[in-house]
Chains A and B, each alone.
Chain A
């Protein structure tokens, strides 16, 4: 059992216009009892940081489908760090296996592939939040 209501921001960073996957994830997290703050397409690191502050988000999920993850992922973790926000970042979408480690090293909490099941999505996000809580 979670000891509080989790609030998760979901967004697409940059010009990637593919939002089917992220909408599915939004419903999965909602159905798992979380509050999803859905920002939709074309967000910037700045707009995501502002939303995370205002919404007091417990986690941020970014969906990436345009092979930009190796630049955008670290850009996002940098932006969070710069703002002094200790919020786990989960990246979902099409990320080749060999890139996962690099993302994790850059401070991304977890990476979810396109084949992730609903249970995996929920447990990964929950685990990222409770790991941060315990840190």
Chain B
């Protein structure tokens, strides 16, 4: 077989030395999950910790990739090596996916950036582990910033967006996009708003909707404490207007995080979330296995005979897993 043949430490070493192909392979390993993925994530974790993580999220087709392409370009002009992880949904029916985010970024992407497309592969648990691991490996090999593009639907995507250091929420004029974003829980995680496609009618309405929602206090708890109010930027990413401002806002937010000490809180939140996800997955996968053991079978039997309730059975089993 091809990719997994090379030993991990070797792949990791050559990725550290700037070899793209090795980094590409490590990302594949991370995507597949399991023990090998954990090994890679563990190696990356030791070297990571300096990249600023930017989440770019919003409705399908709102212009996330086009904006990201602009940002990559601007970052590289100021000496930053950007990595992008573009997450798109897999088809729930076939497991396949068409990952088209690169089209909008490639023109502006140079030698010094790295773009990886990732499909959700149906299982949110996997995504919840693969995304942080991918961030760590980009960080470890020296990319900064790391931009994560996700469609702002679904809890996992919102969680992913919410654990970035700086979350950019992209909305578009018309159709009550801002209201939808609010419902999806995106406003609470937003550090910067971009009203993209501002060349279209209704852009000012979208801006006003956002201002109103911010006034009404649909803001992160963090903001209240630190007095940070997410800026709203009008953009036409096709032409590049608003991208400089977005870049400045990202840098401004990074600065704010540092000054206020919130960066530590964010990093802690991210780690907390990852450990929690891992615990859930560990216990979850153990749950299936344990049901097939004698202990599991005995408990199922006891529930069937109405000796104990399903809740009692679950508690007995969880206790036995934890005491294992």
* Known A-B contacts A29-B96, A33-B94; A55 and B116 likewise in contact (beta carbons under 8 Å): yes
Which A-B residue pairs are the 6 nearest by beta carbons?
A30-B96, A56-B24, A40-B103, A56-B28, A53-B20, A38-B100
Within 8 A of B (CB), among A65-85: 83-85
Chain A residue nearest to B100 (CB atoms) is A38
Residue A36 contacts which of B32, B99, B121 (CB distance < 8 angstroms)?
B99
Is B117 at the interface (CB under 8 A from chain A)?
A: yes
**Taking chain B's interface residues, is the majority helix, strand, or loop, or is none over half, making it mixed?**
mixed
Cα separation A4 to B121 with both chains bound (whole Å): 12
Is A120 at the interface (CB under 8 A from chain B)?
A: no
Residue A31 contacts which of B3, B28, B96 (CB distance < 8 angstroms)?
B96
A7 contact set on B, CB distance < 8 A:
28
B100 contact set on A, CB distance < 8 A:
38, 40
Is A35 at the interface (CB under 8 A from chain B)?
A: yes
Shortest distance between the CB of A41 and any CB in chain B (Å): 8
* Known A-B contacts A53-B24, A56-B24; A35 and B99 likewise in contact (beta carbons under 8 Å): yes
* Known A-B contacts A39-B102, A39-B103; A54 and B96 likewise in contact (beta carbons under 8 Å): no
A133 contact set on B, CB distance < 8 A:
1-2
Is B176 at the interface (CB under 8 A from chain A)?
A: no
Is A26 at the interface (CB under 8 A from chain B)?
A: yes
- Size band of the interface chain A makes with B: 20 to 34
Q: Which of A5, A34, A86 has the most CB of B within 10 A?
A: A5
Is B311 at the interface (CB under 8 A from chain A)?
A: no
Q: Are the CB atoms of A35 and B97 closer together than 8 Å?
A: yes
A-B contacts, 6 of them at CB < 8 A, read A4-B32, A5-B31, A31-B96, A34-B96, A51-B115, A55-B117
- As a 0/1 sequence over residues 107 to 135 of chain A, the CB contacts with chain B under 8 angstroms (1 = contact) are 00000000000000000000000001100
Q: Are the CB atoms of A32 and B99 closer together than 8 Å?
A: no
Shortest distance between the CB of A28 and any CB in chain B (Å): 10
Is B95 at the interface (CB under 8 A from chain A)?
A: yes
Shortest distance between the CB of B30 and any CB in chain A (Å): 11
Is B27 at the interface (CB under 8 A from chain A)?
A: yes
Within 8 A of A (CB), among B55-104: 90-91, 94-100, 102-103
B23 contact set on A, CB distance < 8 A:
54
B3 contact set on A, CB distance < 8 A:
56
B24 contact set on A, CB distance < 8 A:
53-56
Is B25 at the interface (CB under 8 A from chain A)?
A: yes
Q: Are the CB atoms of B98 and A38 closer together than 8 Å?
A: yes
Q: Are the CB atoms of A32 and B96 closer together than 8 Å?
A: yes
Cα separation A49 to B150 with both chains bound (whole Å): 25
Q: Are the CB atoms of B94 and A38 closer together than 8 Å?
A: no
Q: Are the CB atoms of B114 and A54 closer together than 8 Å?
A: yes
Shortest distance between the CB of A80 and any CB in chain B (Å): 12
Q: Are the CB atoms of B96 and A35 closer together than 8 Å?
A: yes
B21 contact set on A, CB distance < 8 A:
53, 56, 83-85
Q: Are the CB atoms of A54 and B116 closer together than 8 Å?
A: yes
Chain B residue nearest to A29 (CB atoms) is B96
Is B119 at the interface (CB under 8 A from chain A)?
A: yes
B20 contact set on A, CB distance < 8 A:
50, 53-54
Is A100 at the interface (CB under 8 A from chain B)?
A: no
A4 contact set on B, CB distance < 8 A:
32
Chain B residue nearest to A129 (CB atoms) is B2
B106 contact set on A, CB distance < 8 A:
39, 43, 47, 51
A34 contact set on B, CB distance < 8 A:
96
Shortest distance between the CB of B33 and any CB in chain A (Å): 11
Shortest distance between the CB of A61 and any CB in chain B (Å): 13
Q: Which of A29, A30, A58, A85 has the most CB of B within 10 A?
A: A30
Q: Are the CB atoms of B94 and A31 closer together than 8 Å?
A: yes
